[in-house]
Amino acid sequence: MDHEIAAERLRIAHQIVNRLWQDAPRHQHVGPPDYDYARSWPWIPTGYQLVEQAFKLLLAIHWCVPPVNVRNRLERGLRHDLDALFGQLPTDDKAAVESAYGSFVDLHRYIPVKTASHFLQSVGHGYANWRYVLLEGWTDSRGEPDPRRAPPTNHIGVLIEIAAVAIARAKSHVNGKPRRFPSVVERVDHELDNVVGHWCNRLHDGGSKREDWDKRHKNLHQLLVEHRHAIAAQLDNTDNPKLGPRLSSNPYLRSHLPELPEELLPIVAELRRSRDRKNLFVYFCKA
């Protein structure tokens, strides 16, 4: 019933959107609301679509119908409402989304909404508002600003994380291989261990003892802790407003970045290419 094909298409789309988002400038609230909405617009309607279509695929799998038939089972006014779609998911899928969301807000503690259900309830109906905000703004019939028409406050990273766990659940169902979605902190810890281990291997020669490798591994992890704020500054990307291939870094801007020990330079260079770069930035800001 095309569930597997749909899951793979969603995975590819999510991978591309996430890659662009990780390299995008960190969003800062500056200027009038119109400016903030315009800067967020490329990501949020796309995030809505990823979550909506991943939820609908989970419903198609649960109902044993082709994905194209899901819309016919939904009330017309609720077809794009993320909260309504979430409410119809099987219990185990909802629990997986809640678990992933809980880990995400534990890392991103500035997010005030503590459960996925409450987050989706607050943003679920806002897709149409966000989709047309560039054209229509949020004015009434007289052209006057109307706060009731403003798109709901959202979080791009949350949408991408919820989409990721929903897509992973769909792929798990169609493959018949139950697999727990790794939390954001588990992914960060695993990536740091892998990157440090990789560079320990690069520095390891045939005559070295295992004890030397272990000592180097421990020392590099200690350096990551000691220079955590400098690493966060290196991972931040507010100075690069361009998407796609990176231009050569501005040497004037780079001179303002805190210096790092030479041993950490290749590790941080690899972390800058991470699919969790923005999460690593928050992790090192908190560490």
Q: Is 169 exposed, middle or buried (0-12, 13-18, 19+ CB in 10 A)?
A: buried
Least confident of 20-29, 74-83, 125-134, 178-187: 20-29
Query: What's the pLDDT at 47?
Result: 94
Question: Alpha helices of 108-152 — where are they, by DSSP H?
Answer: 116-123, 127-131, 133-136
Query: What's the pLDDT at 246?
Result: 39
Average of per-residue pLDDT across 228-257: 59
Could you tell me the pLDDT band of residue 254, with boundaries at 50, 70 and 90? very low
Reduce the DSSP state of residue 139 to 3 states and report it: strand
Higher-confidence position of 203 and 213: 213
Task: Categorise residue 12: left if φ over 0, alpha if ψ from -120 to 50, beta otherwise.
Answer: alpha
Average pLDDT over the chain, rounded to whole?
85
pLDDT digits (tens, 9 = 90+) for 34-64: 777 888 888 899 999 999 999 999 999 999 9
Query: What's the pLDDT at 28?
Result: 61
Could you tell me the pLDDT band of residue 70, with boundaries at 50, 70 and 90? very high
Instruction: State yes or no: pLDDT of 245 exceeds 80.
Output: no
Query: What's the pLDDT at 190?
Result: 96
Higher-confidence position of 213 and 242: 213
Average of per-residue pLDDT across 112-123: 92
Question: Alpha helices of the chain — where are they, by DSSP H?
Answer: 3-23, 33-40, 44-63, 82-87, 91-107, 116-123, 127-131, 133-136, 156-175, 184-203, 210-226, 228-235, 251-254, 265-271, 277-286
pLDDT digits (tens, 9 = 90+) for 125-162: 888 888 888 888 776 667 666 666 677 878 999 999 99
In single-letter form, the type of residue at position 64 comes to C
Could you tell me the pLDDT band of residue 199, with boundaries at 50, 70 and 90? confident
Higher-confidence position of 134 and 195: 195
Query: What's the pLDDT at 207?
Result: 58
